[in-house]
Each structure stands twice: as C-alpha cells, then as structure tokens.
Amino acid sequence: MKSSVPLFMTFFTVSVILMHGRCDEEIRRPRRLAQILGFSWENCGKPDDPAVLKALKLSPDPITIPGDLTASASGSTSVALVSPLSVNVTMEKEVAGIWVKIPCVEEIGSCHYPDGCDILNQLIPPGQDCPEPLHTYGLPCRCPFKAGDYSLPQSDFYVPNIDLPFWLTNGNYRVQGVLGSAGKELGCLKVSLTIHSG
C-alpha cells in the first residue's frame, strides 16, 4: 500500500466482505471454518482512470479462514488520494444462474462508504504501526496516498478467524468497488470468488 490504490481497494474490499463483523454476533454464534475458492480480479474502470491494478496473486486456492495466505500485488495511481475518498461497493450472489444484488446490511453488501480513509483509520488507528508485512516494506496503510507506481513483493499473511454474517452463505459472489473523489471516478476493481463455510 505504498500509496497504492490497487492494494487499498483490494484490502478494503476483502475487509468489507469478511472483516466488518459485529462483536455481539461473534459472542452469540459459534465460528465457522470458511474457504474462498476461485478468487479472480479485473479492472473495471474507464481507460483514463488514474488508479489501475497491474498484478495481484493470492495463494493457496482455496484460501482457508483461519489460515495462511501468500499475496503479491502491483499497481499505480497518477493522482494523490486524500480524504474524503468514497467507495461504492456492489455485491452480487449467483442464485439459480442469475446474479442477484445483495443490499447493504449492517455496512456489508452493496454499500456506499463516504470515506474509505475513515474506515482505514478504524481498522488501523493513527499512531499505530501498519501491520506486517507493510511495515517491513515501509508501505503506508492510511490516507493520504501519494501518486506513483508501487508493488507489494510476495508476502505471507495470517488470516484470523472471522465470523461471517449469517446471510453470507455458500455460493458464488461478485464484488465491484469503485473508488472516487469529488464526484470523479479514480478506479474500479471487480473481484469474483466462491465462499464455502462449514
């Protein structure tokens, strides 16, 4: 995330899908082992969008939660990213061969986030070191992000136990995230994956 919009969008999208749970639900319900299969991505923005993901590799397939994850990514942004940085997420699930839009429920689903920078500050409070391996590589994890070409070398992560919302059941999903500022689209990333939970 050394000023990297693509990494920002990727990790933001994953956090929205899987990590934006509620503590009271975690206390009431037992945890489920989950797997993410067939993860794929594509840029879905306009040709002149300043933010572009050039490469993203995740392994293994399936990704087990909790479990180890290896990731590498590269991308570029030709403009600085400053607050407020809006994120519009559209989430769809395949039902009987038809893609159905999932509404925004408790800030998960097809939601509009007025400022992704605020969410990053909630996940990693200002003054706290960025998590590894971002800290090791000197990659920032909060706004503002400077313009430039950036990459995250192949790195190992541990994905902790995550309490999936009860409605995020087994199936195929598509998630599109559009990053914007002052009414202008900065970048668009589309992710496809299959969720299997026990």
Q: Please name each of the domains of the chain with its CATH number.
A: 5-197 (2.70.220.10)
Better pLDDT: 25 or 10 = 10
Query: Which pLDDT value is given to residue 173?
Result: 95
Q: Tens of pLDDT along 29-88?
A: 444 578 999 999 999 999 899 998 899 999 999 999 889 989 998 888 899 989 999 999
Q: Are 64 and 57 in contact (CB under 8 A)?
A: no
SS (H, E, C) 5-35: HHHHHHHHHHHHHHHCCCHHHHHHCCCCCEE
Q: Tens of pLDDT along 160-177?
A: 887 777 777 899 999 999
Strand partners, 48: none
State the pTM of this model. Answer: 0.82
Beta strand 171-181 with 86-95 is: antiparallel
Structure tokens belonging to residue 190? 């589309």
Rg (CA), the chain: 16
Structure tokens belonging to residue 107? 């800030």
Q: In Å, how far are 58, 64, 65, 160, 198 from 33, measured between CA atoms?
A: 19, 8, 6, 11, 6
- The DSSP secondary structure of 101-150, one letter per residue, reads EPP-BTTBSS-EES-HHHHHHHHS-TTSPPPTTHHHHT---SS-B-SEEE
**Cα–Cα nearest to 152, from 5, 44, 25:** 5
Distance, in Å, from the CA atom of 67 to the CA atom of 151, rounded to the nearest integer, reads 23
Give yes or no for residue 136 having a pLDDT over 90.
Answer: no
